[in-house]
Amino acid sequence: MEDWQFCFFMKGMVAPQEGITLGDIIIIGYPPSHDASIFFRASIKPDMNNDDLRNNLLDNLRNIAKIYGLVSNTYVDVMSGSSASKISSDHPFGDKKLRGNFTLIPVFDEEQRRGYIPIIEKTIKKYEVVKPIFQGKTKGFLRNAIDYYYRSLRDETLEEKIIDLMISLESLFSNELDELGLRYSLRTGFLLGVGQEAERSNIIKKIQDLYRKRSKVVHGTEDVDLEYKDISTLQEYVRDAIKRLIHIEMPKQQFLTLLDESVYDKEKGDRLNQIVMEAIKKW
């Protein structure tokens, strides 16, 4: 077995210049940019294919970036290029030199950059929780929802954002192709209304209104009135719903039924509150 280090460049992840080590991962920031390099340490057998290992690490890194998006509400562009170096006694952490020419953008001082350490630490911790979802072992609907939420962070237009966010919302709250926006707007409202019951009706109305606008965008209706603040609110709704559902272990259909019955059954509503409050604490 030989120990190797693989390095990938990430545009948009703020990290301290001195670096942060999390298990077999090292993340180093490059002031004054918002960018960082992430280094993976891996043991390689003589007959292993380095390209296969690199591609596997790249897939993992892209999934880590999606969790970073959930934690920070920030899109990170994972560059496909990489470098690899053999770890030796002279270089116990491999070669940490930055390769290539990159455009730097201002400006974080080192103290500000260190403030991002808890965000990075939480990202790695949550990634370990969500990894089975990315591997297709459980909650496939959440994997789809996370993918489209993350795409919305990258989208350039409000029209693109509302389409991707509504697809994410449908992945979370719809089980049938012909379900109406009213049903999953109610489900969203009752999930996110736990702990802020006074806002529940506003959440439901907002989702219904944005669903109508999304339908107009999809069907090519001219002059759809979209505002950044509304899309930002929708983004937060989707993000919060994903974060809660990550820690709710009840099967999807069973949980959707509980949401529906909570509309008119106080006992079911109390049970919903208990389940969701426990999920909030875990995040």
Q: Does 134 have pLDDT greater than 90?
A: yes
- pLDDT classification of 50: cutoffs 50, 70, 90: low
113 and 229 share one domain: no
103 and 7 share one domain: yes
Which range has the worst mean pLDDT, 44-53, 103-112, 164-173?
A: 103-112
Which has more confidence, 96 or 171?
171
Distance, in Å, from the CA atom of 21 to the CA atom of 128, rounded to the nearest integer, reads: 16
Among 103, 132, 161, the domain-final residue is 132
The predicted pLDDT at position 48 comes to 64
58 and 34 share one domain: yes
- pLDDT classification of 17: cutoffs 50, 70, 90: confident
The predicted pLDDT at position 179 comes to 57
Distance, in Å, from the CA atom of 92 to the CA atom of 95, rounded to the nearest integer, reads: 9
% of the chain exceeding 90 in pLDDT: 45
- pLDDT classification of 79: cutoffs 50, 70, 90: confident
Radius of gyration (C-alpha) of the chain in whole angstroms = 21
Among 132, 149, 179, the domain-final residue is 132
The predicted pLDDT at position 221 comes to 65
Distance, in Å, from the CA atom of 107 to the CA atom of 206, rounded to the nearest integer, reads: 36
The predicted pLDDT at position 102 comes to 34
The sign one gets for the Cα dihedral 117, 122, 125, 127 is negative
Among 105, 132, 159, the domain-final residue is 132
- pLDDT classification of 42: cutoffs 50, 70, 90: confident
- Torsional class of 122: left (φ above 0), alpha (ψ -120 to 50), beta (otherwise): alpha
How much is the pTM?
0.82
Q: Could you give the number of structural domains in the chain?
A: 2
Determine contact, residues 42/4, Cβ cutoff 8 Å.
Answer: yes
Determine contact, residues 272/258, Cβ cutoff 8 Å.
Answer: yes
- pLDDT classification of 104: cutoffs 50, 70, 90: very low
* Cα dihedral value 252, 253, 257, 258, nearest 10: -30
Q: Which residues contact 209 (CB under 8 A, 6 or more apart)?
A: 230
The predicted pLDDT at position 180 comes to 61
Q: Does 257 have pLDDT greater than 70?
A: yes
116 and 228 share one domain: no
Q: For residue 184, what are the domain limits?
A: 139-282
